[in-house]
Every structure is written in structure tokens, then in C-alpha cells.
């Protein structure tokens, strides 16, 4: 598959200061790609280059094969974005806002506006004035607006800023739907690891203008196969250890207080817990000592999160 957004050795200098250095990554149709980095890492600057708000010092950015630097008109046609805060008319209704902004691009019909409102779950409040909307609702309307001209790439700079956890969850749900149903590639920046982990398929880490790593967020089927460390708290460690030695002789089990310490996949851990309880051992808790994205981040940046 061809990437729909491609950054190739992108550099940006502001004055004499290098702000973005040698950033390269590809984003594919239907994918949600995270751009993760601490404050001042260069996320917004990179995004401003992608949408043509600032020049690229060297390297290239292409959208559907068109260079933002040399073929701007063609390239930008396929890009939807919210720059800073969505620009909405407070005294117009949600629907009227979309009708207004829809006049600026070709082929926007009442039906396509309807479809966007449904997709971001604002259909039921389309006749309400935007000034009454919550931040999350405005954010959703902004995304509907950015999608009006059927872009192939949607670029969102810190879209979850200011949203509460349920707002973040909602955003994840409808962004997933947008990516899947419209086969749009979505780039979102964030300084929050937990959000990237929740929303994205893959992510790149940027730190002090340089890219550190591109990784895939493990999906559910992968995580079933991953060997993890468990601490299983039981009422009778001696008996539990005996049972495990008998039935799972290939597991190394260590005792730590009332805990059994062992390595297993999720599936094996399930079998182990079932076997223990079936044989009269009480399992109080099984704690997964999983390496989180946060730990991974510290590992690849050598603890360099500002």
C-alpha cells in the first residue's frame, strides 16, 4: 500500500536554530498515527509544515504523491485540518456552521453535511447554537468541518487538549470510525502517552526536534502472545507452588511474600489461575507487571522526557 502522507528527511530551521531535524515517517490510508513528544519537541512546527503554514527548510512532504513544497494546490486539496482552535461561528447552529464552511469547497451537499454530523455524533444537536456547546462538542464540529471536502488525510494538533477522559474516549471512538469508514489517514499529536496508546495504531516519538522511534501499539491479538510478568497473590503459596510444579512444570515460579512471581502469556496466566482456584487455592489478585508505553518511552529516550 502507498502511504498517503509521507515525510522525508524534513528539517526546519527558525533563524539559525534547528527546530525539526531529519523527521521521516509514512502514514497509510485508514491508519491513526500518533506524533508523541513533550512540550517544545517540534510537533506543531512539523504539523505547520505539513499543512503549508510554514516552509520546509529541507526535505519533502507529500500528500497522495503531491509535494507540499512544489505542488501545494494539489497536495492541500487532500488535507483536512484544525489549526489551533476550530473557527466556528458562535451564534450559528452546528448545521449552519457546516453549510457556511461547505460553501468554500466543491461538492458539499446537504446529504454530505448530514453524514458528517452523524459521524461525529452531533446530529441530535444540529439546530443548537454553537455557543451552547461543550468543548468536546466544538471539537467534534471542528472535525466535521475539517472533513467536509473529503480529505484523505486529517491532521489534528493535540485534539484532546482540555477534554476529560470520557471526551477522550468519545474522540477515540469517532476517529476510529472516520479512519475506517472513510479510509482516511489521521495524524494526531499529543504529549500524553496514555492517549496515544488508546487512540493510535502506530506512533512516532519526537524529542528536541528529532525522531526517536516509530512503533506499533500492540493490538489485542499480539498482546495475547506477549510474555508478561505476573504477581499472583494467593492464600496458600506452598500449595499453589506445588500445584504449579505439577501442572505447569515449564514455568519458573518464585515466591515473594504471599505472591507467586511468574512469566506467562495472558492465555497461560488464565489457565494457571483457573487451575489454582479449581484446586482450592484462593486467588486474591493477579497483577500484570506489563511494560507500559510510558516505560517504553523512557527506554527509547533514555529518560529524556522534559
Ligand X SMILES: Nc1ncnc2c1ncn2[C@@H]1O[C@H](COP(=O)(O)OP(=O)(O)OP(=O)(O)O)[C@@H](O)[C@H]1O
Residue 159 binding: pick among ligand X, Mg ion, none (C-beta 5-8 Å cut-off by kind): none
Contact window for ligand X (CB under 6 A) among 37-45, 70-78, 86-94, 292-300: 37-45
* Beta strands at 228-234 and 283-288: parallel, antiparallel or unpaired: antiparallel
Q: Which residues lie below 8 Å from residue 212, measured CB to CB, with a gap of 6+?
A: 204, 205, 206, 300, 301
Closest CA to 157 of 186, 193, 128: 186
The helix/strand count (H/E) of the chain reads as 11, 14
**Residue 64 contacts ligand X per CB under 6 A:** no
Cα–Cα distance between 214 and 34 in angstroms, integer?
9
Question: Binding of ligand X at residue 81 (CB under 6 A)?
Answer: no
CB of 109 to ligand X, least distance (A): 36
Residues 6+ apart with CB under 8 A from 134: none
The stretch near ligand X (CB under 6 A) out of 41-49, 81-89, 165-173, 249-257 is 41-49
8 to 27: interface string for ligand X, x by CB under 6 A: ------x----x--------
Q: CA-to-CA distance for 272 and 248, rounded, in angstroms?
A: 8
- Provide, rounded to whole angstroms, the least separation between the CB of residue 50 and ligand X: 12
Indicate the residue among 12 and 43 with the shorter CB distance to Mg ion.
43
Strands (E), the chain: 5-14, 17-27, 32-36, 58-63, 66-67, 79-82, 153-157, 185-190, 202-207, 210-216, 228-234, 254-256, 259-264, 283-288
Residue 19 binds which of Mg ion, ligand X, none (CB < 5-8 A, kind-dependent): ligand X
Q: How far apart are CA 214 and CA 281, in angstroms?
A: 44
Which alpha helices (DSSP H) does 164-203 contain, by range?
165-181, 193-199
Contact string 166-205 vs ligand X (x = CB under 6 A):
-------------------------x--------------
Q: Which residues bind Mg ion (CB under 5 A)?
A: 43-44
User: Does residue 207 belong to the site contacting ligand X (CB under 6 A)?
Assistant: no
Residue 227 phi, psi (nearest 5)? -85, 130
Q: Which is closer to ligand X, CB of 145 or CB of 207?
A: 207
Q: Quick one: what does residue 237 bind among Mg ion, ligand X, none, with the CB cut-off 5 to 8 Å set by partner type?
A: none
Q: Which does 39 bind (CB under 5 to 8 A by kind): ligand X, Mg ion, none?
A: ligand X
Question: In the chain, what is the straight-line distance between the N-terminal and C-terminal CA atoms, in Å?
Answer: 36
Minimum CB separation of residue 87 from ligand X in Å reads: 19
Total number of residues that touch ligand X (CB under 6 A): 11
Task: Please choose which of ligand X, Mg ion, none residue 88 contacts, taking the beta carbon within 5 to 8 angstroms, the exact cut-off set by kind.
Answer: none
The nearest distance, CB 176 to ligand X, in angstroms, is 24
Residues at the interface with ligand X (CB under 6 A) = 14, 19, 37, 39-45, 191
Amino acid at each position: 500500500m502507498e502511504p498517503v502522507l509521507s515525510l522525508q528527511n524534513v528539517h526546519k530551521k527558525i533563524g539559525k536554530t534547528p527546530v525539526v531535524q531529519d523527521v521521516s515517517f509514512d502514514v497509510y490510508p485508514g491508519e491513526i498515527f500518533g506524533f508523541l513528544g513533550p512540550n517544545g519537541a517540534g510537533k506543531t512546527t512539523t504539523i505547520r509544515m505539513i499543512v503549508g503554514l510554514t516552509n520546509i527548510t529541507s526535505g519533502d512532504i507529500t500528500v497522495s504523491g503531491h509535494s507540499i513544497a512544489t505542488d501545494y494546490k494539489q497536495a492541500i486539496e487532500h488535507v483536512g485540518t484544525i489549526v489551533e482552535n476550530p473557527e466556528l461561528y458562535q451564534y450559528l447552529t452546528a448545521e449552519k456552521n457546516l453549510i457556511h464552511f461547505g460553501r468554500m469547497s466543491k461538492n458539499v451537499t446537504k446529504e454530505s453535511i448530514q453524514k458528517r454530523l452523524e459521524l461525529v455524533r452531533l446530529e441530535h444537536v444540529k439546530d443548537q447554537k454553537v455557543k451552547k456547546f461543550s468543548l468536546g462538542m466544538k471539537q467534534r464540529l471542528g472535525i466535521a468541518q475539517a472533513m467536509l471536502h473529503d480529505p484523505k488525510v486529517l491532521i489534528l494538533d493535540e485534539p484532546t487538549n482540555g477534554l476529560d477522559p470520557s471526551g477522550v474516549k468519545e474522540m477515540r471512538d469517532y476517529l476510529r470510525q472516520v479512519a475506517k469508514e472513510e479510509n482516511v489517514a489521521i495524524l494526531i499529536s499529543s504529549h500524553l502517552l496514555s492517549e496515544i496508546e488508546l487512540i493510535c495504531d502506530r506512533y512516532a516519538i519526537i524529542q528536541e526536534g528529532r525522531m526517536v522511534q516509530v512503533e506499533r501499539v500492540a493490538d489485542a491479538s499480539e498482546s495475547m502472545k506477549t510474555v508478561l510478568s505476573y504477581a499472583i497473590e494467593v492464600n496458600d503459596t506452598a500449595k499453589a507452588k506445588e500445584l504449579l510444579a505439577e501442572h505447569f512444570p515449564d514455568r519458573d515460579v518464585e515466591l515473594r511474600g504471599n505472591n507467586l512471581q511468574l512469566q506467562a502469556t495472558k492465555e497461560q496466566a488464565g489457565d494457571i489461575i483457573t487451575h489454582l482456584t479449581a484446586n482450592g487455592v484462593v486467588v486474591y489478585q493477579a497483577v500484570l507487571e506489563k511494560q507500559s508505553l510510558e516505560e517504553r518511552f523512557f527506554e527509547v529516550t533514555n529518560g529524556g522526557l522534559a
